[in-house]
Structure 1
Amino acid sequence: MENQEKISITTKTLASGNCQVKFFIENEEKPQYGYLLVSEPKPVGEIIDEIKQRMERRKSSTFSMNPYLSIPQVQEDHNFYLFSA
């Protein structure tokens, strides 16, 4: 059974016009927090979906590191930062 994670966010509009989203992922085993930079304000549901997609991409890129497969290197995402709490 997969753990349900609760994601809470706070947003801040920067002087550049971009929107900084600070998010918290509440998970008993591995709580995390991070930041997402978006170019325009978005609805909360869209922001949470984008966070989930980026986390999934990061997770799949770390699990697919097989030295025998020719997989293109994943570019670093400078608009998404994730930390362990």
Structure 2
Amino acid sequence: MEKLEKINITTKNLASGNCQVKFVVEDDQDPRYGYLLMTEPKPVGEIILEIQRKLENRRMAERNINPLFPVAPAQEDPNFYLFSA
């Protein structure tokens, strides 16, 4: 079953015209925070869904350590930064 984290976001419009989204993932075992750079405005629901998708992609990449079936590493997203809190 998929675990749903509570994600809080704060947005800031940059001089470049992009939007910086700061997010905090509230999780008792693994609290995290990060930043997402958006090139176009999106509703809050879509931003949260995109963050959840990117977090799930990171989790899947971390779990896929099978030497018998190597998978090409996922390309890092330069617009998504994730840190441990």
Match of 1:47 in 2: 47
Query: Which amino acid letter does the alignment assign opposite residue 67 of structure 1?
Result: P
Give percent identity, aligned residues only.
60
Partner in structure 2 of residue 7 of structure 1 = 7
Aligned mates of 2:2, 2:28 — CA distance in 1: 12
Which structure 2 residue ranges, 5 or more long, are not aligned? none
Give the unaligned 5+ runs of structure 1: none
Q: Which residue of 2 aligns with 1:25?
A: 25
TM-score, normalised via structure 2 length: 0.90
Q: Structure 1-normalised TM-score?
A: 0.90
Change in CA separation of 1:65 and 1:81 when aligned onto 2, cut-off 3 Å? same
Q: How many residues align?
A: 85
State the 4+ residue runs in structure 1 displaced beyond 4 angstroms.
1-4
AA aligned to 1:28 is: D
